[in-house]
Amino acid sequence: MKTFTLDVDYACDFDLFGLVSSSREHTLAWVLNRALHLRLIKQPDLILDLLQRGRLVISNYLHATEHHTLRLFRNRSADASALKKPFLAPDIRQYDYLLQINAGGTDLLPAPQLIAHLTALPEVQLISQFDPNDLKFKENFLF
């Protein structure tokens, strides 16, 4: 019997930043709200059932306007997980938080200015930008 596999290649059209921070998620969201003039609001946890390997419970915050959407994710699962690597993005597991920006307008800072602005915050030890299309588990960001 022949077996067919469906290969789907997703094009991710958002900016992705990894943040290293020892702050709690609600504290970091509050700091980002003040620094970037946002309104990140806690959303229900995302639950990703990864077939028979386990599940991830990801804490997330959302700021949405008519021009852009910004999401702050905790990279590590909030719940105990049977997975070896209980991360939203296992490729970049050294980052504590992930910032996903879907920008349709120009009212948000360009990436280099955003990085410089967030690096100046005492709660953020490191920030890096990633191309989501290069990540192995980029499907975890599609919902």
In a domain, 80, yes or no: yes
In a domain, 65, yes or no: yes
Q: pLDDT tens across 76-118, in order?
A: 888 776 667 788 888 888 999 999 988 765 457 788 888 999 9
In a domain, 5, yes or no: no
User: What tokens were used for 87?
Assistant: 């991360």
Q: pLDDT tens across 54-66, in order?
A: 778 889 999 998 8
Question: What percent of the chain lies above the pLDDT cut of 70?
Answer: 83
In a domain, 4, yes or no: no
d(CA 66, CA 58): 25
Give mean pLDDT, residues 35-42. Answer: 92
- Grouping H, G, I as helix, E, B as strand and the rest as coil, residue 10 is coil
Please tell me the chain's helix, strand, coil percentages from 3-state DSSP, rounded to the nearest 5. 20, 30, 50
In a domain, 2, yes or no: no
Stated pTM of the model: 0.83
Phi/psi of residue 31, each to 5°?
-65, -45
In a domain, 78, yes or no: yes
Q: Domain count for the chain, please give it.
A: 1
d(CA 79, CA 8): 29
- Residue span of the structural domain in which 36 resides: 15-138
Within 10 angstroms of residue 112's Cβ, the number of other Cβ atoms is 9
Average pLDDT of the chain?
A: 84
In a domain, 116, yes or no: yes
Instruction: Please report the pLDDT score of residue 10 as a whole number.
Output: 63
In a domain, 109, yes or no: yes
d(CA 37, CA 31): 10
